[in-house]
Structure 1
Amino acid sequence: MSDRLLLTTSSHLEGYRVTEHLDIVSAECVFGMNVFKDMFAGLRDFFGGRNKSSQDALRDARIACLDELRREAETLGANAVIAVDLDYSEISGGGKSMLFLVATGTAVKVARA
């Protein structure tokens, strides 16, 4: 097993067995979408096509939130998180837009099967 804590959306890890369930862990991340990204996203929506700045923001949010989830699990002594779920939301109002992401899962200890 690598030194990096393993994450999976599955309830198990192939080739490993869960030796201990520790606790539910979660990470919450909120990112502001600047006004230029919002403006260009609106133009892209109008004309069609992919919006690279929005895709980049989503990817960055996912990476940051999963890193935070790993840190939370490591504080419990886990070496894996199973049943990871990602929930995205947008919060907007007052001319501002925020991307909200929550990652949850079960922190566990695993060993090679």
Structure 2
Amino acid sequence: MIITTTPNIEGKQIVEYKQVVFGEVIAGANFIRDFFAAITDVIGGRSSVYERRISRARQDALKELEEKAITLGANAVVGVEINYATVSNKSMFMVIASGTAVVVR
């Protein structure tokens, strides 16, 4: 499956547009992670715990997007965007991947 942020795929022709598809992941953070992330924020540096969690959530959102496109009979997703937001007083975060499921040849 080709997944791209571009509106088309070089060397391929879009022969059918299916529909917009989404992959949505809401992930919680726990107290221990929050505590150590806060320490990292105070002393400087990167919070590798949160980076790994966000990376995993992004991968899961893209996987869900791909599965939905396959269900529709698509073999590619174009125009992919990934958005992030905090939810519930910043104790949770949301990753949403969206794009257009298409058939290319």
Give the TM bin, normalised by the shorter chain: over 0.9
Match of 1:13 in 2: 9
Unaligned runs of 5+ in 1: none
Cα deviation, 1:19-69, whole Å, max 9, x if unaligned, reads: 111111112110111111111111111111011101101110010000000
Match of 2:100 in 1: 106
Q: Give the aligned partner of residue 34 of structure 2.
A: 38
Q: Which residue in the other structure is 1:70 paired with? A: 66
SS in 2 for 1:58: helix
Alpha-carbon offset, residue 17 of structure 1: 1.1
TM-score, structure 1 as length reference: 0.89
5+ residue gaps, structure 2, are none
User: What is aligned with 1:56?
Assistant: 52
Q: CA RMSD in A?
A: 1.1
Aligned AA (2:50): S
CA drift of 1:98 comes to 0.6
Matched, 1:87 2:90: no
TM-score with structure 2 setting the length: 0.95
Choose between structure 1 and 2: higher strand proportion. Answer: 1
Identity across matched positions, percent:
39
Aligned residues between the structures: 105
Q: CA deviation at 1:92?
A: 3.6
Q: Once superposed, which parts of structure 1, at least 4 consecutive aligned residues long, lie more than 2 Å away?
A: none
